[in-house]
């Protein structure tokens, strides 16, 4: 499976790596505001942003001279405090198109357990097309994962998973607030783009964030329990839940706050692009279909592929995504 993905990413990855230069651009430190706008009545309280000021640091990482893209490392405090200090700082990579006064921008979110190569390739490509990209590390991802620890965003411990997803949504909303306060970002064209798990958390975040106008759900969907209750990959979680007397109905209610389908009607006011595989067994087509129907039957592109063989349609999908975000 990884070999298939590597084939599709090879040329983009090589191009990106071959362009790396030591940056001559400078570090930036500043403060930004979050929670300054009234929360929508459609946003559950667990996803409300606390009104505060946060300090951020933006450090140069490298430049991609052929693509005319500068890459920075952004850090700021998470509004959620956990027992793990590493997880309490949000890390992101900011891909900035050069020579543009203003540009649309999108948050980019990664796959389950990803090594970030896919999201970096997506961000590099979109930035080369004039779209600023803020690749945000979700809770317990990358540098946010405690060393020598098995803690992950997704866990058989359902309460931990719920809290980690809630933290990630708040971190994404905070990242959107940071983008809004950049002078070069077109505030009317801020989006969220995610792949697989990242697309589901991205859709959920977009449902909670009024400032997001464009959403890309790549190989994702909604209806978690209907899609996964009998799925082989969910067997360990289901058995653990049932061992303590849990039922399917209880699980539906428990996961409702983090299921993109619960508040999918909030996506009707946004421009949504879904990209799905007809033969996907990781995110079954029924999940993509359910989200499409409840979010207003907007644009959806079906490919004759599975979750991993979608890599063969990668460049076609990237072009669709770029067109969608630039509209």
Query: Residue-wise pLDDT tens for the chain (327 aa)?
Result: 444 445 445 445 444 444 445 445 789 999 999 999 999 999 999 999 999 999 999 999 999 988 999 999 999 999 999 999 999 999 999 999 999 999 999 999 999 877 789 999 999 999 999 999 999 999 999 999 998 888 889 887 889 999 999 999 999 999 999 999 999 999 999 999 999 999 999 999 999 999 999 999 999 999 988 887 777 777 777 787 788 888 888 888 989 999 999 999 999 999 999 999 999 999 999 999 999 999 999 999 999 999 999 999 999 999 999 999 999
Question: How does strand 299-303 pair with strand 103-109?
Answer: unpaired
Contact 17, 61 (CB under 8 A): no
Domain that holds residue 312: 2-326
User: Rounded to whole angstroms, what are the CA distances from 145 to 80, 85, 107, 142?
Assistant: 15, 9, 20, 6
Total number of domains constituting the chain: 1
- 0.85 surpassed by pTM: yes
What residues contact 10, with CB distance under 8 A and at least 6 apart? none
CATH code of the domain containing 117? 3.40.50.1820
The residue whose two tokens read 């592109």 is 301
Question: How does strand 132-136 pair with strand 185-195?
Answer: unpaired
Q: Reduced to 3 states, what is the DSSP secondary structure of residue 304? A: coil
- How far is Cα 104 from Cα 108, in angstroms, rounded to an integer? 13
- How far is Cα 168 from Cα 223, in angstroms, rounded to an integer? 19
């Amino acid at each position: 499976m990884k070999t298939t993905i590597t084939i599709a990413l090879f040329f983009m990855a090589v191009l990106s790596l071959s362009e790396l230069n030591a940056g001559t651009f400078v570090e930036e430190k500043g403060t930004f505001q979050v929670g300054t706008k009234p929360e929508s009545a459609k946003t559950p309280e667990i996803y409300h942003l606390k009104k505060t000021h946060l300090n951020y640091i933006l450090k140069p990482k490298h430049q991609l001279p052929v693509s005319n893209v500068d890459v920075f490392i952004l850090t700021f405090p998470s509004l959620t405090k956990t027992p793990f200090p590493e997880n309490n700082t949000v890390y992101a990579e900011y891909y900035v198109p050069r020579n543009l006064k203003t540009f649309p921008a999108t948050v980019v979110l990664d796959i389950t357990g990803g090594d970030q190569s896919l999201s970096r390739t997506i961000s590099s490509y979109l930035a080369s097309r004039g779209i600023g990209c803020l690749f945000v590390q979700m809770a317990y991802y990358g540098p946010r994962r405690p060393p020598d620890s098995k803690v992950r965003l997704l866990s058989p411990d359902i309460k931990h998973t719920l809290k980690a997803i809630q933290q990630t949504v708040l971190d994404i909303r905070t990242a959107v607030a940071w983008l809004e306060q950049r002078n070069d970002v077109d505030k009317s064209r801020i989006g969220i783009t995610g792949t697989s798990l990242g697309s589901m958390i991205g859709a959920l975040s977009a449902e909670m964030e009024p400032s997001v106008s464009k959403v890309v759900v790549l190989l994702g969907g909604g209806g978690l329990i209907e899609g996964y209750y009998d799925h082989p990959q969910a067997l360990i979680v289901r058995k653990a839940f049932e061992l303590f007397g849990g039922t399917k109905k209880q699980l539906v209610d428990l996961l409702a706050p983090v299921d993109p389908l619960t508040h999918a009607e909030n996506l009707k006011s946004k421009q949504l692009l879904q990209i799905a595989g007809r033969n996907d067994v990781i995110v079954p087509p029924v999940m993509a279909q359910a989200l499409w129907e409840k979010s207003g039957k907007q644009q959806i592109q079906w490919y004759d592929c599975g979750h991993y063989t979608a890599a063969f349609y990668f460049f076609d999908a990237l072009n669709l995504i770029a067109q969608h975000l630039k509209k």
